[in-house]
Amino acid sequence: MFVADRADEPGADRLPALLRRTVDGTVREVARVEAKGVRSVLLFGIPTRKDPEGSGAWDPEGPVPRAIRAIKAGHPEVTVLADVCLCEYTDHGHCGVVVGGRVDNDRTLPSLGRTAVAYAEAGADLVAPSAMMDHQVRTIRSALDRAGYPDVGILAYAAKFSSGFYGPFRDAAGSAPAFGDRRAYQMDYRNRREALRELALDAEEGADLLMVKPALPYLDVIAAARERFDLPIAAYQVSGEYAMIEAAAARGWLDREAAARETLAAIHRAGADVILTYFAGDLDPSTEGAR
């Protein structure tokens, strides 16, 4: 869910699940999906103010901490996950602090730790670091432990590929890079061995769950992760995967619900224990084949 400081407005190309909502609107949407059986939500923030450091990410009065507090007050049984990245909060759109035209990994790490603590203080159950900085899981685990939050879990975006499927998200979040791209810190989509190495490193650094992103083009990586690691494996069916089905269904080229369920079943069959998907609040859990 995209939490914005401003009033509700459409997300990318008016895709329904990419709607930007205020804190109040987000709480109403949580109530709706909880009634349908959804028990977990992942929050992304859309601030009104951005700067080179992305300092709005750890502002306790920013959209994500305020939404966490409001959700937990009204829906305490819902598990709240908060994305930890700077791309929505930097004026250049990169996931870390930029020095000399390049993202500086080590300068970024303390900011990620500070952001994770801000979300934990607000009541997040898990934080989900997606910046793809080396040693981000170790940094966040240490920061949470020092701040007195040893029970706040980490869902690590461990194998996050440099993908062509992120476009609708970047439009909705306003997080497209102002220059260059993210290939220097996201992974080459041709390299499965690197993905497994990154998964192993995040497991060693203290991740509680390991995630592969995107999902459907990387079923082989999901399956390999399930074979190799004992931690729960998550997969993120990203905005482009969602948008393809929505666009084809809108043109009458396929059955929306049938296609969504088939892709989700494939992701689960490959080995994902947890699936993050924009379809979660729409699919009818009472229909045949629902899990």
Q: Which residues are known to be catalytic?
A: 160, 213
- DSSP codes of every residue in 164-196: TT-HHHHHHHT---SSS-STTTSBPTT-HHHHH
Strand order in the sheet with 153-160: 20-21, 2-4, 40-46, 79-84, 126-129, 153-160, 209-213, 233-237, 274-277
CA distance 34 to 41: 9
- Residue 42's identity, in one-letter code, is L
Q: How far is CA 249 from CA 172, 232, 234, in A?
A: 21, 32, 26
Locus of tokens 């991740």: 207
The residues with which 160 forms a beta bridge, in sequence order, are 213
CA distance 123 to 146: 16
With beta carbons less than 8 A apart as the criterion, state whether 165 and 241 touch.
yes
Q: Quick one: which H or E segment has residue 275?
A: strand 274-277
User: Beta strand 233-237 with 153-160: parallel, antiparallel or unpaired?
Assistant: unpaired
CA distance 218 to 201: 19
Report residue 117 as tokens.
Answer: 């603590």
